[in-house]
Structure 1
Amino acid sequence: MLPRLAILFFLLDVSTATAGAWLREKGTGFSSVTTKGTLSRDFAETTYWEYGVRDDLTLGVEAAFFTFASGAQSGSGMVFLRRPIGKKDRPSVWAYELGIGADWSDASVRANVRAALSWGRGYQLKQLNGWMAVDGAIKLDVYDASHTLKIDSTVGLNFNDRFSGMIQVFHAHTANSTATSIAPSFLVKPIKSKPNIRLQIGGETELGKAKNPAFKISFWREF
């Protein structure tokens, strides 16, 4: 049986590369591949993809695979849609998300559904532009109605056309466990000729477990 707190920690930042309240324009998309590992040799790999079918409809797929130091493995997958709430030309933007997927561990596969609400807003700090976002979601197990609640908060700042900084706070809660972590990261466009590619490098520390931080590297691509 997998440690509940370890699983919850890895679930904290699944999909943190999502656009949140901002939808993709029609005919454009985004993908990311992320690897995350802790000092205790727990690892996670996540793949994320979303595409603007219409200006008011974004479809996406996400998959995550977890390998723990004990040798145990688990994973999750989900397809989802995102739609705006209200007008998109306001300073603050809102969107809702609905998804269906499954979690697996050992020989067990369990279907689930997810509903999410996102808020986002751009801001300016002197001559620099940034963004703020809050994403709340609940995932329900189809069979026994057990649930996971998540609240993710993000503050980012664009230093110039190539470099950005970001700090995130992830909180997840189940009937048996609660975990909160802080994740600073740095974004860079490594290839000037390809501005649609970004590299994210960062760390993550669960509150109360500072001796076992996680390190993360992610490749982002807009298309």
Structure 2
Amino acid sequence: MYRAVFLFLALLAASPAWSGAWLREKGSSFTAASVTAFRDQYGGYDYKSSLYAEVGFRQNLTIGLDFESNRDLYGHALVFGRIQVADLGKWGRFAAEFGAGVHHRQRSAWAVYKTGLSYGKGFQTGWGNGWLAVDAALEFRTHEAVYRKLDFTTGLSADRLLNPLLQIETSYTPDTSFYWRVRPSVMIRTNKGKTKWVLGPERTNARSKTGIRIAIWNEF
């Protein structure tokens, strides 16, 4: 079973748009803005929005912003820095990330600190170039327990109109249930290739909800 999972990830998975363990070149930048809409239990709609941005500040330092909000109920805003830890050539690379910001629930807000380690590997398949990224992080929220997070991202970056993308996010805290979120998506390239539209469903176990997510990625 584990071999089948690995082969599936490999076939889906060369530098990606979403950096993970890759640093941005000095002066280059990337932004990702998204909206996810859910059907609520009352027959109406719930939604959340996010904004992710990063820029190559120096050759060995990428800085960025990570923002997410579920209406005005809860959300977070983090600034972060990423540095390369090791480049193993064809075996992949590692990068460390450090961030600080705020987490809010309605009108209450608390400080949050994050530290993480990312692994990334690019390779070729019969369907084109791709990448696989694994991101592990500890998130210290001053009003709650420490969050342990493990995320997976894989996709193809071939020079064509459509490419697949899979994102899996997991989170765990002691004495609480395990949280996961899955996003199988399709990336749609524009003519120049610097802008991509990302469209697909999003499934989360928080309230057993499935939504539709649309995002736009830009490289500068």
Quick check: 1:84 aligned with 2:84?
yes
Quick check: 1:46 aligned with 2:50?
yes
Q: Aligned partners of 1:145 and 1:46: how far apart in 2?
A: 22
Whether contact under 8 Å (1:159, 1:165) holds in the other structure is no
Q: Percent identity?
A: 29
Q: Compute the TM-score of the two structures, normalised by the length of structure 2.
A: 0.83
Superposition pairs for residues 1-223 of structure 1, below 5 Å?
A: 18-40=18-40, 41-67=45-71, 73-87=73-87, 89-126=89-126, 128-142=128-142, 144=143, 146-175=145-174, 176-190=176-190, 192=191, 194-206=192-204, 212-223=209-220
Q: Compute the TM-score of the two structures, normalised by the length of structure 1.
A: 0.82
**Change in CA separation of 1:166 and 1:127 when aligned onto 2, cut-off 3 Å:** closer
Q: CA deviation at 1:214?
A: 1.6
Structure 2 spans left out of the alignment, 5+ residues = 1-16
Aligned to 2:87, what secondary structure does the other structure show? coil
Aligned to 1:42, what secondary structure does the other structure show? strand
Q: CA deviation at 1:135?
A: 0.5
Q: Aligned partners of 2:131 and 2:182: how far apart in 1?
A: 17
Q: CA deviation at 1:188?
A: 1.0
Q: Aligned partners of 2:52 and 2:166: how far apart in 1?
A: 20
Q: Aligned partners of 2:205 and 2:107: how far apart in 1?
A: 32
Q: CA deviation at 1:203?
A: 1.1
CA displacement, residues 133-167 of structure 1 (integer Å, 9 cap, x when unaligned): 1111111023x462212111122123434321111
Residue correspondences, number: 199
**Change in CA separation of 1:85 and 1:198 when aligned onto 2, cut-off 3 Å:** same
**Change in CA separation of 1:108 and 1:127 when aligned onto 2, cut-off 3 Å:** closer
Whether contact under 8 Å (1:185, 1:202) holds in the other structure is yes
Structure 1 spans left out of the alignment, 5+ residues = 1-16
Provide the residue aligned with 2:11 in structure 1: none
CA displacement, residues 94-153 of structure 1 (integer Å, 9 cap, x when unaligned): 1010000001112211001000110010121125111111111111023x4622121111
**Change in CA separation of 1:62 and 1:182 when aligned onto 2, cut-off 3 Å:** closer
